[in-house]
Amino acid sequence: MRVREWMLLFILSLLWGGSYFFIKIVLVELQPFTVVLGRVSFAAIALICFVYLSGQQMPVSPRIWRAFFVMGALNNLIPFSLIVWGQTQIDSSLTGILNATTPLFTVVLAHLLTHDERLSLNRLFGVLFGLCGVFLLIGLEVLHGLNLQSLGQFAILGASFCYSYAGIYGGRFKELSPVVTSAGMLTSSTVMILPLALMLDKPWTLRPSAITWGGLLVLGLFGSAIANLIYFRILAVAGATNVSLVSFLIPITALLLGVFVLGERLDWNTFAGMALIFTGLVAIDGRLLRLP
């Protein structure tokens, strides 16, 4: 990749890694589904405006919009809800580390669901290393029964699984502009999350402060709208393999913000688990193993 793409990749990791930090902030005053609604609706409005200002058009085909709704559920509604609820039980730094497992799930799902991405030996070892890292992060106490903290960790892993499946499902949108796809996906997500937020959270009873509103705007405009534009820019120029390197950088941003700003504390198993997951990601990526 060129220097410009590396800079964009670094910015993308800051945006996505920082999202866990802002989620932790807005959860002080807002309920989980309200947070998700604010994030996807702000992002949808911004991207739809971008689509029409750039001279593009949103599709009208029911078939495409059905696919948008499926993609919205897999890539926004379900994982965002799981992450936001999970962060009511665990720290933002641990959330970022657990979300780095997305490529581990992708490798397995791609082997099962596609014909051109088979599970090679180095990828198999990568998955095994990653699973060992996840086990260390969750801890031995999970063997003696589940508690809310354990459920929060499993919620983040569930979100990672959804992201990996969404990445495979999203291959059907190749004929559409990435910005149009993102706008349609986020609009569909807004339609789906709206009734849930109204019924379960009753957001009209909440009194968020200016800081909370600011956090929601940052999540929507930067963590979703701008992040998607940067992601698809790198994808178009440098390819899927290079853009996947963001998985190495997101946990670092989440960890630094969680520890130094929110005052979160890390145990030895957090560092050990993160090291194993990163080792697994390196094995899956394969490029460092091919260096002379």
Between the alpha carbon of residue 151 and those of residues 77, 186, 188, the distances in Å are 18, 27, 28
pTM: 0.83
* pLDDT tens figures, 119-147: 777 778 887 887 888 777 776 555 556 67
* pLDDT over 80 (residue 189): yes
Report domain extents, the chain: 3-285
Q: State pLDDT tens for residues 196-241.
A: 999 998 988 988 999 999 999 999 999 999 988 888 777 767 666 5
Strand locations in 124-188, DSSP E?
none
CA 32 to chain centre: 16
Q: Is the pLDDT of residue 290 over 60?
A: no
Nearest-angstrom CA–CA distance, 134 and 269: 10
pLDDT at 105: 84
The pLDDT, as a whole number, for residue 222 is 94
